[in-house]
Structure 1
């Protein structure tokens, strides 16, 4: 039987905070153990700085500068992803995630899969009733809006119960099995994936995107090993985990302190990853599965910018093309692989579709994420119009974030990792062999940047339209900090 394909995206997990990549905190004990019989890429780079950009590149094999997806309004046309290609070859495909860009937003990514699990049925105890997360107003007006929606829902008792299950005042008074979920935990998607796999008769291909390490950084107590109540209260008190720091409303030391809670989130997602792969092993599926474990991007916690005169915070344009954002974990286990190996050459997640095709053809290329020409490209498109609208609430001058940028990585003859960057008309070069110690180089190579990006024309795979997401999708995107 053809091998199964499993892509696991640890959303927002940067390599430097995983113990697999020698973090001082033991955040990924399972992934470190799993890697002993897998292929570890030490120098993997994300193609973009945010979730939408990177997932579009991973799914299509197109660079960000080609597909140019930025936000709602950009839509991937059908027939351009590896998942649709696999479905045409007889695979059953599914995606499992609380990330709305993957499972709900009208950007075309969810259309690539036959089964789409967004977790919506787990948010409220009574799915047939109104979901309070769809409310748009605040204060007393929010209460009036909710009562109006309850009355017009057709199922007022269920809708009212959902409100009580999510309201902070009444939620603790309700038995846990009837409490609503502000954010659906990754464990629910592991459960859904297991049920789905058990009902498959032939080969399958799936993407599981785990959101535990994405903001808000609120790990379960058993994984919260490095933070405390102070960090938890700070996280809950934030209105914007990015712009409040950029605007100077809060000191950068508080943003740095949140990294301790973030480490606990990574420990939690590592535990969920163990549960996921143990499920496959228990059902005899693991040995016949290509497993790719990575992240769509990293996260900034106020580190000084090497490329721009601002600190790196969160991800996307505010994070920039810094190593904290682009250096991501990448572990690959081929079907029946039993010996571990490490790849030190710079690698790109954009190579995922090509790796899948070669694996199905029976090839076991241990450097499969390394581009043939050795050049790894990354891009940031700058602030989209939708995201720009929310910025003036915090800062008036956003010019430094308006500019996108582009970077080219390559492995030199002496096995160093060189990064050439162009941002706001300036060209810079860095030695990124040790991503925690990015070193500015005196020379820069504008030619390699020009040549690498010269042939990347806008792809016809993406179109722009006026599709407006539903209110519940907009609410979830805002909840996750995407808007």
Structure 2
């Protein structure tokens, strides 16, 4: 095997870590994801930086915390000045492409201010999170009274479906994400009751196989070296899957809900509002979980089968010999656990994601098939990719750490004692239910291997979980005075994180070190009493020189004028 020249960066949307068999699911077999884990390394404590699609992805793509890049929710643009992995990789000589989803919104106002046209090469890259787009599809194409959520969503996929005979204004909804009733009625996948029905589409035409083919078609012609971000839409809602996957799992495969009545009764006010909302209330009902979770499992099984197709193709074509493969998710899914649905809080089922990395280089041979228990963050991927591309990691911009030392057996953990995750409900529909102002809508999670704390600016006690003795995170200790010392320690660490120089991105650490002596070498000798206060080389041009008295100069000037 050779050193990695290329990177295949696979991300699934809303894939729970514990729904892979290599992470311990008792019923759902994912042999191809397990196969990739046996070829590389599986990370057991990998955390995303926000439990929301857009903000999580912006952290992964920029290698920076949410508080640094500022795109704190879906629909909040990524600032025009933020560099992404595409920018860093191209500088290192590696192209960066997208097949699938980013959920990125461009900073059009900032682009206009700088005169960047979206039609230009740089403008297109700024508009697309630094990627050169093969095909972008964020996978959400609903239609409401005020129009569509995303006018360009599923644009190419819908054209493909129509070419296959799925006649509709929006075949993404009417076929790929809906079932069909006895009278040929469309049974929308938006309604959870329809998750138990198969999607009304031939399996090969559904979204996951479609994007697998699109990636392979592109990679057939891609010039090396490249990074291809294959960003799958599923198993994100709508929860509906075609046959044969729709019939593979049933209520007997649904694991018991991880929740207690005490957890509900004593929930933090933010959590209680979420639990009592439409999503939380629905997913807490057994009939909803028994309909949705088998479909969710079917979507994962289909994703695993398609990974097998992709891996087999890479082996036949020889691409696997020089391509790093990274498999992860942007966040998980509560699926009724903790009386919640969706993903917008900080329990592990939402924030702790699968991460599998296959490195073809001989340096990684010693760690193949092993499991790493170190604290890892999604922002570690960008510096890893930069190192694979052969460049120096710009650690004044990228806030994560390269995984290469762990992959190569040179280290067992990174220089990290905690992980951070953030959420901002300020512009979210849920923000109205909270009735919170824009500051108190911000939430911060800090966790280590023993404790997890969540702070909200709402005047309520923090949330605190004992991860060693309560791994299911059922008992909130945040209001218990017996744990005041733990909270003090966690708050000290949170303050340490908040004081990092995250906005100092225009000068490297090396550049800062040079600046410390640069001004002295340019003749700046502030505070010097005597020439001897500085080394001779710094003051050489100030010593042994002659000048005329200014009075003589003034007299000569006057003589000339007269």
What is the TM-score normalised by the length of structure 1? 0.70
Report what 1:222 is aligned to. Answer: 244
Q: 1:329-364 deviations in whole A, cap 9, x for unaligned?
A: 010111234522211122111111111122333994
Equivalent position to 1:83, from 76, 83, 86: 86
Q: Sort the Cα spacing of 1:171 and 1:83 in 2 relative to 1 into closer, same or farther, 3 A.
A: farther
How far apart are 1:245 and its partner, in Å? 3.6
> Which residue is 1:149 aligned to?
none
What's the secondary structure of 2:216's corresponding residue? helix
> How far apart, in 2, do the equivalents of 1:30 and 1:433 lie?
31
Per-residue Cα deviation, 1:88-120 (whole angstroms, up to 9, x for no partner): 3332221111x3615xx4365624112331259
Match of 1:328 among 338, 341, 353: 353
Contact 1:300–1:315 (CA under 8 A) maintained in structure 2: yes
Match of 1:366 among 397, 406, 413: 406
Q: 2:351, 2:470 → 1: CA distance? A: 10
Q: 1:43 to 1:397 in 2, by over 3 A?
A: closer
Number of positions where the alignment pairs a residue of Structure 1 with one of Structure 2: 395
Structure 2 partner of 1:71: 74
**1:262-309 deviation per Cα after TM superposition (whole angstroms, max 9, x unaligned):** 1222111111222222222221111211111111100012222xxxxx
| 1:379 and 2:415 matched | no
Structure 2: gaps of 5 or more residues: 108-125, 149-165, 187-200, 255-274, 392-402, 478-482, 507-562
Which residue of structure 2 lines up, in the alignment, with residue 406 of structure 1? Answer: 444
Task: Answer whether contact 2:445 2:454 (CA < 8 A) is retained.
Answer: yes
1:427 aligns with 2:462: yes
Q: Structure 1 residue 117 and structure 2 residue 117: aligned?
A: no
Contact kept? 1:15, 1:298, Cα under 8 Å:
yes
* Change in CA separation of 1:269 and 1:408 when aligned onto 2, cut-off 3 Å: same
Structure 1 counterpart of 2:451, from 408, 414, 418: 418
Unaligned stretches of 5+ residues in structure 1: 124-132, 143-159, 173-178, 232-240, 305-310, 412-416, 462-483
The answer to whether the 8 A contact 2:289-2:335 is kept is yes
Identify if the C-alpha distance between structure 1 residues 251 and 295 changes in structure 2 by more than 3 Å, giving closer, same or farther: closer
User: Which residue is equivalent to 2:493?
Assistant: 448
Deviations along 1:117-160, one digit per CA (max 9) or x if unpaired, are: 1259x99xxxxxxxxx686549xx99xxxxxxxxxxxxxxxxx9
1:192 is matched with 214
Where does residue 129 of structure 1 map in the other structure? none
Give how far 1:202 is off.
1.9
Contact 2:284 2:340 in 1 (8 A): no
2:231 equivalent in structure 1: 209
Deviations 1:401-444 (A, max 9, x none): 97331122224xxxxx4323213443343233588523656332
Task: For residue 314 of structure 1, give the secondary structure of its aligned residue in structure 2.
Answer: coil
CA distance in 2, matches of 1:282, 1:117: 24
Q: Which structure has the higher relative contact order (CA within 8 Å, separation 6+)?
A: 1
2:472 matched residue in structure 1: 437
1:250-399 equivalent positions in 2, closer than 5 A: 252-257=285-290, 258-304=292-338, 311-316=339-344, 320-336=345-361, 337-338=364-365, 339-361=368-390, 364-366=404-406, 371-381=414-424, 383-385=425-427, 387-388=428-429, 399=436
**Change in 2 beyond 3 A, CA 1:91/1:291:** same
Q: Which ranges of 4 or more aligned residues in structure 1 deviate by more than 6 Å?
A: 167-172, 458-461
Pairwise mapping of residues 144-163 of structure 1 onto structure 2 (< 5 A)? 162-163=168-169
**How far is the alpha carbon of 1:227 from its aligned partner?**
3.0
CA distance in 1 between partners of 2:431 and 2:416 (Å): 39
Shift of 1:8: 0.6
Q: Distance in 2 between matches of 1:63 and 1:447?
A: 18
Aligned to 1:95, the other structure's residue is in SS state strand
SS in 2 for 1:266: helix
Counterparts of 2:412 and 2:78, CA distance in 1: 26
- Mapped contact 1:292–1:330 kept (Cα < 8 A): yes
Greater C-alpha radius of gyration: 2
What is the SS of the residue equivalent to 2:83?
coil
